[in-house]
Structure 1
Amino acid sequence: MRIHFIAIGGSIMHNLAINLAEQGHQVSGSDDQIVEPSKSHLQDAGLMPKELGWFPDKITDDIDVVILGMHADEHNPELQKAKELGIKIYSFPEFVYEQSAEKTRVVIAGTYGKTTITSMIMHVLKKLGRNFDYLVGAQLEGFDQLLQLNPENNLMIIEGDEYYASAVNKQSKFLKYKPNIALISGVEWDHFKTVISEDDYFKQFEDFIRTIVPKGTLIYNKDDKNTREVVERTMDIKINRHGYKLPEYTINKGVTYIHVGEENIPLKIFGKHNLSNIAGAFTVCEWLGVKRDEFYHAIQDFKSSIRYLEFVASQNGSVVYQDFAHTPSKLRSSIHAVKEQFPNQALVTVIELNAYDSIDSEFITEYANSMNESDFAVVFVNTSLIKEKNIALDNLIWRLTEAFNHPSFHVITQMTDLEDFLETFKSNGYNLLFMSSNNYNGVNMSSFADKFLRNF
């Protein structure tokens, strides 16, 4: 086929373009902005556009398929030309479905946990030598790309994103995949992160369940009240339903053991969210024919999906972890997980909040008392990222201090001050948990850990 990508520079889009070119398809693409690592990947594959921008002349009637990325809006001139010529236009998820229509499709969905569960399943299947295609939203250890499509594989593991398929298709991506096996890890609406109403957000997951193929299987987290309610509203459709729950576990000398029958399986990861994710991943693998002993043998050396209670460094008995923080409940649960894992160590928690969100008093209120289980609490707001210069800094610090209501609380507003704090804090007897929904503004977490650990 001859395939043209509108917005080829996206993280998933460029992976798909390279994958299709490797299969022998003729691939071209356009974009008005391409950054690393997409730029280097496209250059190495010989697919980097000669110049940036949108060029309707690239859209000719010998093109079989146009794939439209999220970055392109509905007025894009290349899109308009493709419509005029009657060329078949796919959103990214629609095309992935077309390529996997004859495969068994496993789709992992949920507000949180879907990346981790997807990566656990992929880790186990890879260790067992199973062949499969995949689509994930983050770079995972042991996998070079975000996507693999191979016509010879009969199984595809998909991380199901609930956000829009494209600028001209305002349906959730995960509604396009029509899973044979679907999993929902949990449903939580966040009005600061979600552009649709709470009812509409929950309705997406009901609609997702209704896309499961006839006699297909739904696997869901029975511990999550919202998920149970979503499932209960879809009892009219005839599918298999299989709930999973947090497994029994113990912690001994900083190692978590999951109880499986008479065995205690040691893990590289910890925290109730991760243990629940293991239960979900096991249930999926069981439906795929993986035996219990095979699964738990393979999962023992699973470390973490990127930035989910991820080990960074340790020294002199102190440990540094990083984590992805997207809600106050996630902040609480991650702090609890580290304290439960290392009960004899005190904990310093640093959370980086989005600078613009932090000047919203309603947003700050959501975080009330969320760091109480940490021994030392730091909120980092990089005010240098705020363009407006009339920010009342003292008022911001006061409101954060009032909301978090922690006895050992600091607000830091400059990167240099954060570095100084880590460098001067006496780490003896303390662990460090650094949480952010951003990218640490490009800072290497290893350097943060080094500053903290070397001042013993």
Structure 2
Amino acid sequence: MQVHFIAIGGSAMHNLALALAHKGYQVTGSDDVIYEPSKGRLQLKGLLPEEFGWYPDKIHNRIDAIILGMHAKSDNPELLKAQELGVKIYSYPEFLYEQSKDKTRVVIGGSHGKTTITSMILHVLNYHDREVDFMVGAQLDGFERMVHLTEENDFIVLEGDEYLSSPIDRRPKFHLYQPNIALLSGIAWDHINVFPTYENYLEQFKIFVDSIVKGGSITYNEEDEEVKIVVEASENSIRKLPYHTPNYRVEDGTTLLETSEGAMPIEVFGKHNLNNLSGAKWICQNMGVDEDDFYEAIATFKGASKRLEKIAESNNSVAYKDFAHSPSKVKATTNAVKAQYANRKLLACLELHTYSSLNVNFLKEYNGALDAADEAVVFYSPKALAIKQLEVITEEQIADAFQRKDLKIFTDPIAFKSYLFGQELTDTSLLLMSSGNYGGLDFGEIKNLISS
């Protein structure tokens, strides 16, 4: 089968390209810019385009399928040529469904936690040598790619993102998978550039629950009031299986999970991650992994890439980076680090980087998000606002949104780095939260900061 990717360089798209090439498909692609690590990984497998840009001549009738990425625009020259020739065009999630329509589809949805839960499930299955197809939004230890597709595996585990499918398909991705087994972890307003009201955003999760195959199941976080309402109100003929945070305690910086065999030390920490673990356990049990086997495997799970990832540690200091950017995740992550290292000062830094977080009308959602930190810092770039064509945000608006008088605010990356590297971090936990890099911060240098 010959497949062409329009916008092959994206994090998800290049992993799908690698998966299809591994499966034996003939894969080509185009993009106008490709960054690392996508660039190097495509080059290693001979899939990197020879030239960047869009070339309609690459599109012909011998192509079996076009996969269209969100980075492309609706007037993309290659897309227009494919439409003219009548070549079959798929969005990323449409193609994943096409590859899995004869499998048992396990879909993990939610505003937050879905990457971690999917990663936990895959870690447990891999630990016990259980082969499944999968797609997850983070690089995992022991996995070569974030997407794996076969003809023979019975299950596919999919991270169910609520963002749009493609430039010409405005449906949320997780509406297209039609799960047999689903999980819903939490609902907290996000992606306001696409879902301008909370009610509109909430509706997408109602549609997701109703899209579950009749006779299937939804495992849901009963501690999230909105999730509970959405699931229990659904009239879809499915099994509804609630889960909640298990009992645990923290001793000397180690989290101990209460199990039927006694307290078990685990690598991940924070109430939100213990809640994620509970959801992952029930999904694994639905897939045939018993509780004892789950606990044995999860004890070795260190976390998904960029999700509370420890980047440096000394005898009396530690530094984490986390992908957190939504208000609910920022609050949960900040609380988790403070609880894990209760006797240390917590210096929490947040970069406002996404469309939602840089929107004046959304800022108020961050009220209280950094309250658990002993010192709190917010960084944002006026350049990012200009690129996203958003209204200018003032430091006063940031301070008013977070409702914290001692909040430190930086807009210059050099000034932020100077502040950070001027801190005395003895008996301190440093938390860096962002989906960006604070205007060019080298996270590798943090190791020197902590060890010095």
Task: State the TM-score, normalizing by the size of structure 1.
Answer: 0.91
| Among 429, 432, 441, the residue aligned to 1:431 | 429
| Separation in 1, partners of 2:78, 2:395 | 48
| Separation in 1, partners of 2:285, 2:417 | 47
Equivalent position of 1:111 in the other structure: 111
| Separation in 1, partners of 2:313, 2:46 | 42
Equivalent position of 2:410 in the other structure: 412
Equivalent position of 1:8 in the other structure: 8
What SS is found at the alignment partner of 2:445?
helix
Q: Does residue 217 of structure 2 align to residue 217 of structure 1?
A: yes
| Separation in 2, partners of 1:358, 1:124 | 34
| Separation in 2, partners of 1:134, 1:343 | 37
Equivalent position of 2:92 in the other structure: 92
Q: Is the 8 A contact 1:355 1:383 kept in 2?
A: no
Equivalent position of 1:182 in the other structure: 182
| Separation in 2, partners of 1:384, 1:7 | 24
Q: Go from structure 1 to structure 2 and tell me whether the alpha carbon gap of 1:284 and 1:10 turns closer, same or farther (over 3 Å shift).
A: same
| Separation in 2, partners of 1:262, 1:355 | 43
What is the CA-CA distance between 1:398 and the residue it aligns to?
Answer: 4.1
Report Cα offsets for 1:228-285 as digits up to 9, x if no partner.
1111231x22111111001111111111111122511111111011000000000000
Q: Go from structure 1 to structure 2 and tell me whether the alpha carbon gap of 1:445 and 1:193 turns closer, same or farther (over 3 Å shift).
A: farther
Q: Is the 8 A contact 1:61 1:87 kept in 2?
A: yes
Q: Go from structure 1 to structure 2 and tell me whether the alpha carbon gap of 1:6 and 1:398 turns closer, same or farther (over 3 Å shift).
A: closer
Equivalent position of 1:329 in the other structure: 328
What SS is found at the alignment partner of 2:394?
helix
Equivalent position of 2:344 in the other structure: 345
What SS is found at the alignment partner of 1:366?
helix
Q: Go from structure 1 to structure 2 and tell me whether the alpha carbon gap of 1:79 and 1:184 turns closer, same or farther (over 3 Å shift).
A: same
Quick check: 355-364 or 169-178, which moved more? Answer: 355-364
Equivalent position of 1:256 in the other structure: 255
What is the CA-CA distance between 1:192 and the residue it aligns to?
Answer: 4.5
Report Cα offsets for 1:384-419 as digits up to 9, x if no partner.
65669xxxx9x9344444443445432233223223
| Separation in 1, partners of 2:18, 2:162 | 25
The 5 Å alignment of 1:366-445 reads: 366-383=365-382, 396-406=394-404, 408-445=406-443
Structure 2, unmatched stretches of 5+, are none
Equivalent position of 1:298 in the other structure: 297
Equivalent position of 1:240 in the other structure: 239
What SS is found at the alignment partner of 1:441?
coil
Equivalent position of 1:79 in the other structure: 79
Q: Go from structure 1 to structure 2 and tell me whether the alpha carbon gap of 1:356 and 1:132 turns closer, same or farther (over 3 Å shift).
A: closer
What SS is found at the alignment partner of 1:143?
coil
Equivalent position of 2:448 in the other structure: 450
Q: Is the 8 A contact 1:384 1:414 kept in 2?
A: no
Equivalent position of 1:318 in the other structure: 317
| Separation in 2, partners of 1:316, 1:206 | 48
Q: Go from structure 1 to structure 2 and tell me whether the alpha carbon gap of 1:34 and 1:397 turns closer, same or farther (over 3 Å shift).
A: closer
Q: Go from structure 1 to structure 2 and tell me whether the alpha carbon gap of 1:46 and 1:195 turns closer, same or farther (over 3 Å shift).
A: same
Equivalent position of 2:101 in the other structure: 101
What is the CA-CA distance between 1:44 and the residue it aligns to?
Answer: 2.4
Equivalent position of 2:203 in the other structure: 203
Q: Is the 8 A contact 1:355 1:382 kept in 2?
A: no
Q: Is the 8 A contact 1:11 1:38 kept in 2?
A: yes
| Separation in 1, partners of 2:219, 2:355 | 37
| Separation in 1, partners of 2:11, 2:369 | 33
What is the CA-CA distance between 1:356 and the residue it aligns to?
Answer: 8.5
Q: Is the 8 A contact 1:350 1:435 kept in 2?
A: yes
Q: Is the 8 A contact 2:395 2:409 kept in 1?
A: yes
| Separation in 2, partners of 1:448, 1:172 | 37
What SS is found at the alignment partner of 2:439?
helix
Structure 1, unmatched stretches of 5+, are none
Report Cα offsets for 1:78-129 as digits up to 9, x if no partner.
3233233332221111111111112111111110000000000000000001
What is the CA-CA distance between 1:226 and the residue it aligns to?
Answer: 0.9
| Separation in 1, partners of 2:210, 2:360 | 39
Q: Go from structure 1 to structure 2 and tell me whether the alpha carbon gap of 1:398 and 1:222 turns closer, same or farther (over 3 Å shift).
A: same
Quick check: 352-361 or 1-10, which moved more? Answer: 352-361
| Separation in 1, partners of 2:288, 2:325 | 34
* Number of equivalent positions: 448
Report Cα offsets for 1:21-56 as digits up to 9, x if no partner.
233322222223333332222222222333333333
| Separation in 1, partners of 2:354, 2:175 | 33
Amino acid at match of 1:434: L
What is the CA-CA distance between 1:205 and the residue it aligns to?
Answer: 1.2
Q: Is the 8 A contact 1:7 1:30 kept in 2?
A: yes
Report Cα offsets for 1:108-159 as digits up to 9, x if no partner.
1110000000000000000001111111122222222121111122211111
Task: State the TM-score, normalizing by the size of structure 2.
Answer: 0.91
The 5 Å alignment of 1:266-281 reads: 266-281=265-280
Identity of aligned residues (%): 45
The 5 Å alignment of 1:128-143 reads: 128-143=128-143
